[in-house]
């Protein structure tokens, strides 16, 4: 299984930590050069998208880094791959559970291995005695780690090329894409709180929402029906052995 790790070229000091974690599982990283939101010309090059989206430079850079990684997955002709950010903390059961999740990729093209919020949603399957695969009904937040199929990378690259939100928020709103995105609970990948990644600034701004009652109700109903429809479709189809 190929492991892509997103890392800024100017931060090679972040590499040994993730390399050590992966080596303990007999895995090695394939490095992906992160887009640097602090580059001197970043604002000028991406001025239109920054103005349109209202994102911080580092939020946009993080988004672009994940898009570039998906393209790398497609170009490498991988059936699937794991994507990690360089502040990832990997659990001891990372490899065994991730390998068990691969069978679900034909139905769920991206499965989040990390979560910064409590995972709430519909259980799709028990992966082992301790982990479940869930279709989330609440925001998961964070992109420290996920498993993605080549088909999923191609699909999401098309669906999310109009940048409006931070990448993790865009993935949280998967129901708008009609593309199921699952999450494993408890998470297999955590965030190094003592040394957070420079790929995106720590913390998230509140994404502006329409607080009028009727649009919020319509949006909530659309979300609920969209998720339930995807859940029924997934449960009605067997995972690939």
Tell me the backbone φ, ψ of residue 64, rounded to 5 degrees. Answer: -65, -30
Do 167 and 56 touch, CB atoms closer than 8 A?
Answer: no
33 - beta bridge partners?
Answer: 7
Q: Using one digit for the tens of pLDDT, what is the confidence trace for 138-159?
A: 999 999 999 999 999 999 999 9
pLDDT at residue 218 tops 90: no
Determine the topology of domain 2-235 in CATH.
Spore Coat Polysaccharide Biosynthesis Protein SpsA; Chain A (3.90.550)
pLDDT reported for residue 203: 41
Q: Using one digit for the tens of pLDDT, what is the confidence trace for 17-65?
A: 999 999 999 999 999 999 999 999 999 999 999 999 999 999 999 999 9
Classified as helix, coil or strand, 179 is: coil
What are 92's two structure tokens?
């001891």
Spatial distance between the Cα atoms of 196 and 44, rounded to a whole number of angstroms? 26
Spatial distance between the Cα atoms of 241 and 238, rounded to a whole number of angstroms? 9
Domain definitions of the chain by residue range: 2-235
């Amino acid at each position: 299984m190929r492991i892509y790790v997103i890392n800024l070229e100017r931060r090679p000091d972040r590499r040994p930590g993730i390399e050590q974690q992966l080596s303990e599982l007999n895995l090695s990283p394939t490095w992906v050069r992160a887009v640097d939101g602090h580059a001197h010309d970043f604002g000028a090059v991406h001025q239109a998208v920054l103005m349109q989206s209202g994102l911080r430079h580092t939020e946009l850079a993080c988004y672009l880094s994940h898009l570039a990684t998906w393209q790398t997955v497609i170009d490498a002709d991988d059936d699937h791959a794991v994507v990690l950010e360089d502040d990832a903390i990997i659990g001891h059961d990372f490899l065994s559970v991730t390998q068990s999740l691969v069978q679900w990729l034909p139905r769920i093209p991206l499965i989040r291995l990390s979560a910064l919020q409590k995972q709430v949603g519909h259980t799709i399957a028990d992966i082992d005695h301790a982990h479940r695969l869930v279709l989330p009904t609440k925001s998961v937040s964070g992109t420290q780690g996920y498993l993605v199929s080549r088909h999923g990378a191609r699909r999401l690259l098309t669906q999310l090329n109009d940048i409006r939100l931070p990448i993790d928020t865009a993935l949280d709103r998967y129901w708008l894409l009609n593309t199921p995105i699952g999450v494993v609970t408890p998470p297999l990948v955590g965030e190094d709180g003592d040394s957070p990644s420079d790929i995106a600034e720590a913390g998230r701004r509140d994404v502006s929402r329409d607080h009028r009652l009727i649009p919020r109700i319509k949006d909530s109903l659309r979300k609920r029906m969209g998720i339930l429809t995807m859940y029924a479709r997934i449960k009605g189809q067997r995972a690939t052995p």
